[in-house]
Each structure stands twice: as structure tokens, then as C-alpha cells.
């Protein structure tokens, strides 16, 4: 459901081979100039490109020009730097350049991430994960593994995991559903059933009214199980007087728990400058003064001993290859990075430059929208030259209004001003004369390109994809699909652990254990697994005979995306290396509303048999508590122990 870059590349190669004649796609070439010559009817585009290997330039003429080079063209403006030493700039990287914390310094220090939202949360979580993995993996530990991540952002955001509940709240008990059904975040967010109302659906573009903004906050909080104050950091919490403005989000499985554990420190504010002076490390000056700051006063502070800075400060797309005349006709404004050109509704056409069109040229583009943008372009420039009356107007009112609102720094502009995927895909499909396939999914369900076709009865590959999505929805509803993924993600971090041990063997007394457990994320030590934790527990074991002594355990937990399973493994004597297999959990639904998701497992560990039963109680996408019971029987062992894990409140012991 979440393909890595190489899989996307393979898909695009396959798509090109199937649908494009040979020689259409020219690779390893960069367009350096594009100018329009002539009138609107007979004029031509003169395009100059350069071969990236031979440096040979080629000039060609075309009837039409489609700009599909992407909105996120290059890194946004850099943060002001002062008193920098020669060569230190490589330790200040844009989020598109950042790959490895080790590239900053061999020593431990502060890693500062500047900017919130999608890029900032991903960069901060990636840096924290690399630190966690370096600290808790086999092999020699690097000094930088003791680093911390400081994340500076002006506006709170919600860290959404990749899998979220489709039924987080249960009206029957007026509380959160302890065993919700999970789906990938896109299939939940872009469900047309959430829109309600009668009549055609149109896209909401631009400013968000307070009532709709509040509904957005409520919906996201229901998915997460709260407003994120459970992380112990109010910097992530939108205050009551700010939920009238649109909610911002990031997508990360790891971010929130790294915050709760103190590996990521969120800071409300804006970075003014980065300086170095005589020290090898940096100082980062932060100013906190906004509606979201924890103080009403202008508070200025500095982060010192900074070994590296990641600038998640956005992007800019100036389309340098377009001529000055074309840019002027498109009302180019270099000061507004979010709306540099004024285009018609849906960011496709321009009335003043009728032979140019844009695909995916807006913040946060999705393939479904880009596919329909392409269809509308083909309709307009095709033999019949048809377009709906609404699109023929080529109205740029939306773009002009949003641009001015952004320049006025209004707070009711959403994170992505053209982010209404459901509205856009419905509106564009209607304009393109496509039908929505409701035969399999009904009138609700998630929206995606394959649901829209010229003739539903044509079927083909699109119908196959619709069937596959329907199967995913069915397995989520009737089986336990994605529950293991959600449970594994929820286990991350620090827990208070209580264990009761009941012995049935005369030579072994019963007892209880109280302590702290940690699930430390690290790189999988076997590539067949998608994710891995080093599990550690430390505390005091008190026996019924009065004896008490320190006790510790180490295990390794692994998640496999291929079969959606969690397995547990013993740790070797070094406490970090994976040893023998211990257990595997099979998830199943409870028979009532009072229990969370259940799991069971059985394993023969010579000469004893271990049977396990687990319960995972969710609150939204997060785990509120979970329990594991083992019943052990054999020639030398006969006991059971029941362990319950509850979230530790940050700042308490």
C-alpha cells in the first residue's frame, strides 16, 4: 500500500511501455528554454533542451506545451547564516538532501529540524529513528547515537500514522472503540461517504470557514484518540482558540512516540538565523511569537551545540525555462512561492496562454487528480476540442484570491490550498464525462482513479483494481487485516509494566514484577522484515517468599508486511543480537465491546510448551494498554504469568 521509490519507478516504466509508442519519452534531457511565437490559433512553442551527457542542445517546435515538471521543483529559500566557517555548509541540508545523521558529525549533539508538516515531521522522525537504531543495534555504537532531535515549527500539526481506524468511536458505549478496524490512511481520509449531502460534489479551494476547520480537528483527533497532549508536549496541541483555523498534518508512524520518549523535542517558533563563530558547532536562534506560541511575549532563545540542521522549509517552482513574456502572461509572482502563477480552476489552463496546460502543478498533487487533469487537456486539445461550459471560462478567481490571502498571511488558508481530493476528483471526472463505478463499492467508499471510466461495463484493468480495493475493505471489516501493523506501531516507546506470576511447580514460588519496558525502533536485522524493535524491561521481581531482586529481560520483536504478522525472538547474551524464535501472534476479533483486539500463539521450546494470549486495547490509532499472558508447561516448568503494559505519563517515574 505504501510503495518505495523503486516500485514507483518500475510502475512508471511499465506504464510507459504499455501506453506510449517507442521514442515518445526522451530521457536524460533537461528543458532550458520554452517560448511561444505567433498568435493563439497558429502559434508554436519553441523548446530548447540539452542532453545531460553530451551537453548538446536541441531546438524543436510544438503546437502545445504541457508543464508536468512538478510543483516541488527545488528547495525553498535558505535560512540566514552568519559567521560560517569554510566547508560547514554541508552540515546544513535541505530535507530533500538529508539522508544520514552520521553525515553531520561523529560526535553527539543537537540535530535541528526547521519546519513542520509533511517534510518536517518525516525528517525529524527519520533522524530520530537513525539515532535509535544506532543506539540499539548490534555492533559498535557511534558517538552520534547519543544525539537528540529538536524540531522547530510555527504551527502545531497532527502526526498521522500510515494505518488509521475507520471506526475509532463507538456510539453504543459513547467511548472509543477498543478494537477498531484499520485501513491505510488514504482509504480512510478520501472516503466519499464522509461528504454527505445531496447533489454533485465540488472541490473546496482556498480559505476554510471556522466551522469546517473545527470539524477537521475533531475528525483527526478521533483518528488519533486525542489531541496529542499524551505525548507530554503541548507544542503539538492546538489550543481551543486556534481550532477555528485549518488543521495541519504530518504522516509518520514514529514521530509521536519519539516525542513522548524525549528523543524529539518540539519547539514552537521560527528560526531567524544560524551562526557558527569560532565553534565547530552551530547556534540556532529561535523566535516564538504567534497565535500558537506558549507565550504572548516575543520570546527569543538559542539552541547551542547544534551538529546539524535540516531545513524543511518548503519548495519553490519558478519554471525558469519559460520565457519572460509567457511568465508575464501567467501573472508570475516570485514572492508567492505557493501560487507563483495564476491558473484556471484546478490549476490546469490559462486564458491568456491558451496553448499551455499544467498537470500536477499545485501543492500536494495526487495521481488521481493528475490523471483527470490529463484527460481534460486531451479533451480540450483533441479533434473535437470539447470542454464543459464551466471550464471554458478559464476563471482564475480562485488562484488570485488564494494568492492574496497567502500574501496577507491569513491563518485560514489550509496546509495545501487545493487539497480537497474527493471534491477535485469528483468535479474533474464529471467535467471529463466519466462515470463512477459504484457497482462494487456502493455509493460510498474511497475514491481512486480506477473507479472512474467512460463506460463502467468496459471493465478491464480498472475493474480489477476496484475489485482488489473491495477485497481490502472486506478483509479489514471481516478479518484482522492491518491490525498487526497498527498494534506493532502502537507498541513503540516506554511503558509501565506490571506482571503477575502464578507458579504451579512446588520448587518455584509465585511473585510479581513491576518495572519499565521499552520498545526501541531499529533497522530490521533481517531484510524479510519490515520493522523491528529491541525490547528491554527492567524492574523489581518480588517473590511470595519475601525475596526481592532486580530483574531484566531482552527480546526482539519483528513485523512482516508480507503476511501482516508480529513475531518475538530471544536476544543473545549481548542483549541486542537476535537469537532463537520465540513466538508468533495470530490476531482475531473479540466477541464483545469490552475487549480490544485479541491474539494468540503457541510455541514448543524444548522441552516446554509456551501458549500465549494477548489483548490490545486501542484509543484511536494508538494503543492505550495491552496485555500478554503466557501459560508454560513441561517437565520442569509449570506456571503462567500475566503482563500488562500501560503508557507512562511523560515526566513521571
Distance between CA atoms of 24 and 1, rounded to whole angstroms? 30
pTM > 0.85: yes or no: yes
The least confident of 158-167, 248-257, 313-322, 453-462 is 453-462
pLDDT-derived band at 375, boundaries 50, 70, 90: very high
- Asked if residue 108 belongs to a domain, the reply is yes
Q: How many other C-beta atoms lie within 10 A of the C-beta of residue 20?
A: 10
Indicate which CATH number applies to the domain containing 184: 3.50.50.60
Secondary structure (3-state) at 468: helix
Distance between CA atoms of 149 and 578, rounded to whole angstroms? 28
pLDDT beyond 60 at 570: yes
- Asked if residue 466 belongs to a domain, the reply is yes
If you average pLDDT over residues 619-628, what whole number do you get? 96
Do residues 273 and 413 both lie within one domain? no
Do residues 561 and 519 both lie within one domain? yes
Secondary structure (3-state) at 185: helix
pLDDT beyond 60 at 651: no
CA distances from 56 to 27, 28, 53, 530 (A): 14, 11, 8, 44
- Asked if residue 88 belongs to a domain, the reply is yes
Q: Which of 281, 312, 343 is the last residue of a domain?
A: 312
pLDDT-derived band at 295, boundaries 50, 70, 90: low
CA count, 13 A, side-chain hemisphere, 331: 16
Task: Give pLDDT tens digits for 48-83.
Answer: 999 999 999 999 999 999 999 888 878 888 899 888
Q: How many other C-beta atoms lie within 10 A of the C-beta of residue 488?
A: 27
- Asked if residue 393 belongs to a domain, the reply is yes
What pLDDT is attached to residue 76?
A: 82
pLDDT beyond 70 at 390: no
Q: What is the dihedral of CA 298, 304, 310, 313, to 10 degrees?
A: 20
- Asked if residue 102 belongs to a domain, the reply is yes
Do residues 372 and 287 both lie within one domain? no
Do residues 497 and 604 both lie within one domain? yes
Do residues 216 and 331 both lie within one domain? no
Distance between CA atoms of 635 and 653, rounded to whole angstroms? 39
What pLDDT is attached to residue 650?
A: 64
Which sign does the torsion angle of CA 561, 562, 567, 572 carry? negative
> To which H or E segment does residue 259 belong?
helix 255-261
Q: Which of 312, 346, 366 is the last residue of a domain?
A: 312
Task: Give pLDDT tens digits for 328-354.
Answer: 999 999 999 999 999 999 999 999 999
Q: Which of 450, 478, 506 is the last residue of a domain?
A: 478
Q: Which comes out higher in pLDDT, residue 419 or 296?
A: 419
Task: Give pLDDT tens digits for 225-239.
Answer: 999 999 999 999 999
pLDDT beyond 70 at 121: yes
Do residues 275 and 172 both lie within one domain? yes
Q: Which comes out higher in pLDDT, residue 633 or 296?
A: 633
- Assigned C-alpha cell, 468: 482488489
What pLDDT is attached to residue 386?
A: 67
pLDDT beyond 60 at 383: yes
Do residues 418 and 283 both lie within one domain? no
Do residues 277 and 305 both lie within one domain? yes
**Average confidence score pLDDT of the chain:** 92
pLDDT beyond 80 at 313: yes
pLDDT-derived band at 605, boundaries 50, 70, 90: confident
What pLDDT is attached to residue 653?
A: 45
Do residues 35 and 180 both lie within one domain? no
Do residues 162 and 55 both lie within one domain? no
Q: Which comes out higher in pLDDT, residue 541 or 77?
A: 541
- Asked if residue 557 belongs to a domain, the reply is yes
- Give the residue carrying C-alpha cell 494498554: 625
> To which H or E segment does residue 75 belong?
strand 74-75
Domain containing residue 34: 28-69+317-478
Give Cβ neighbours of residue 119 (< 8 Å, ≥ 6 apart).
95, 312, 314
Task: Give pLDDT tens digits for 423-447.
Answer: 999 999 999 999 999 999 998 999 9
Do residues 417 and 380 both lie within one domain? yes
82 touches 71 (CB < 8 A) = no
Do residues 253 and 401 both lie within one domain? no
- Asked if residue 11 belongs to a domain, the reply is no
What pLDDT is attached to residue 461?
A: 87
Amino acid at each position: 500500500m505504501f510503495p518505495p521509490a523503486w516500485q514507483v519507478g518500475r510502475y512508471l516504466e511499465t506504464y510507459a511501455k504499455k501506453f506510449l509508442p517507442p521514442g515518445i519519452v526522451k530521457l536524460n534531457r533537461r528543458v532550458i528554454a520554452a517560448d511561444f511565437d505567433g498568435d493563439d490559433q497558429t502559434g508554436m512553442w519553441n523548446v530548447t533542451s540539452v542532453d545531460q551527457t553530451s551537453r548538446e542542445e536541441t531546438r524543436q517546435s510544438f503546437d502545445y506545451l504541457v508543464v508536468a515538471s512538478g510543483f516541488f521543483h527545488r528547495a525553498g529559500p535558505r535560512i540566514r547564516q552568519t559567521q560560517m566557517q569554510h566547508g560547514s555548509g554541508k552540515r546544513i541540508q535541505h530535507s530533500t538532501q538529508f539522508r544520514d545523521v552520521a553525515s553531520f558529525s561523529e560526535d553527539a549533539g543537537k540535530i535541528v529540524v526547521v519546519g513542520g508538516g509533511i517534510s518536517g515531521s518525516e525528517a525529524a522522525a527519520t533522524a530520530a529513528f537513525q539515532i535509535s537504531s544506532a543506539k540499539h543495534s548490534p555492533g559498535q555504537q557511534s558517538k552520534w547515537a547519543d544525539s537528540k532531535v529538536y524540531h522547530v515549527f510555527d504551527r502545531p500539526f497532527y502526526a498521522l500514522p500510515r494505518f488509521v481506524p475507520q471506526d475509532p468511536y463507538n456510539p453504543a458505549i459513547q467511548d472509543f472503540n477498543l478494537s477498531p478496524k484499520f485501513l491505510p490512511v488514504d482509504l480512510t481520509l478520501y472516503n466519499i461517504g464522509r461528504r454527505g449531502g445531496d447533489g454533485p460534489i465540488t472541490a473546496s479551494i482556498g480559505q476554510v470557514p471556522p466551522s469546517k476547520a473545527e470539524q477537521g480537528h475533531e475528525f483527526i483527533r478521533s483518528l488519533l484518540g486525542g489531541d496529542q497532549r499524551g505525548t507530554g508536549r503541548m507544542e503539538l496541541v492546538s489550543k481551543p482558540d486556534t481550532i477555528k483555523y485549518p488543521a495541519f498534518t504530518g504522516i509518520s508512524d514514529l514521530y509521536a512516540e519519539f516525542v513522548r520518549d524525549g528523543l524529539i523535542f518540539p519547539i514552537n517558533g521560527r528560526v531567524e538565523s544560524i551562526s557558527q563563530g569560532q565553534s565547530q558547532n552551530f547556534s540556532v536562534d529561535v523566535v516564538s511569537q504567534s497565535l500558537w506560541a506558549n507565550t504572548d511575549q516575543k520570546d527569543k532563545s538559542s539552541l547551542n551545540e547544534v551538529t546539524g540542521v535540516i531545513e524543511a522549509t518548503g519548495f519553490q517552482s519558478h519554471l525558469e525555462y519559460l520565457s519572460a513574456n509567457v511568465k508575464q502572461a501567467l501573472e508570475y509572482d516570485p514572492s508567492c512561492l505557493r501560487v507563483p502563477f495564476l491558473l484556471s480552476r484546478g490549476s490546469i489552463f490559462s486564458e491568456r496562454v491558451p496553448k499551455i496546460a499544467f498537470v500536477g502543478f499545485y501543492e500536494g498533487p495526487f495521481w488521481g487528480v493528475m490523471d483527470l487533469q490529463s484527460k481534460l487537456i486531451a479533451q480540450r486539445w483533441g479533434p473535437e476540442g470539447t470542454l464543459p461550459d464551466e471550464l471554458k471560462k478559464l476563471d482564475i478567481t480562485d488562484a488570485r484570491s488564494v494568492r492574496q490571502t497567502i500574501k496577507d498571511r491569513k491563518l485560514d488558508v489550509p496546509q495545501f490550498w487545493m487539497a480537497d481530493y474527493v471534491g477535485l476528483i469528483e468535479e474533474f471526472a464529471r467535467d471529463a464525462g466519466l462515470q463512477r463505478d459504484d457497482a462494487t463499492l456502493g455509493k460510498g467508499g474511497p475514491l481512486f482513479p480506477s473507479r472512474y471510466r467512460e463506460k463502467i461495463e468496459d471493465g478491464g484493468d480498472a475493474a480489477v483494481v476496484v475489485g482488489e480495493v473491495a477485497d481490502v475493505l472486506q478483509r479489514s471489516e471481516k478479518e484482522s487485516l492491518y491490525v498487526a501493523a497498527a498494534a506493532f506501531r502502537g507498541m513503540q516507546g516506554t511503558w509501565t509494566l506490571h506482571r503477575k506470576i502464578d507458579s504451579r511447580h512446588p520448587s518455584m514460588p509465585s511473585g510479581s514484577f513491576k518495572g519499565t519496558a521499552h520498545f526501541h525502533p531499529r533497522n530490521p536485522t533481517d531484510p524479510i522484515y519490515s520493522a523491528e524493535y529491541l525490547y528491554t524491561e527492567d524492574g523489581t521481581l518480588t517473590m511470595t517468599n519475601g525475596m526481592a531482586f532486580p530483574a531484566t529481560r531482552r527480546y526482539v520483536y519483528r513485523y512482516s508486511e508480507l503476511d501482516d504478522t508480529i513475531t518475538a525472538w530471544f536476544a543473545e547474551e549481548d542483549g541486542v543480537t537476535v537469537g532463537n524464535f520465540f513466538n508468533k501472534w495470530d490476531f482475531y476479533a473479540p466477541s464483545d465491546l469490552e475487549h480490544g483486539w485479541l491474539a494468540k500463539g503457541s510455541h514448543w521450546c524444548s522441552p516446554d510448551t509456551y501458549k500465549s494470549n494477548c489483548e490490545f486495547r486501542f484509543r484511536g490509532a494508538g494503543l492505550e494498554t495491552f496485555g500478554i499472558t503466557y501459560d508454560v508447561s513441561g517437565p520442569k516448568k509449570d506456571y503462567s504469568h500475566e503482563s500488562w503494559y500501560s503508557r507512562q505519563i511523560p515526566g513521571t517515574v
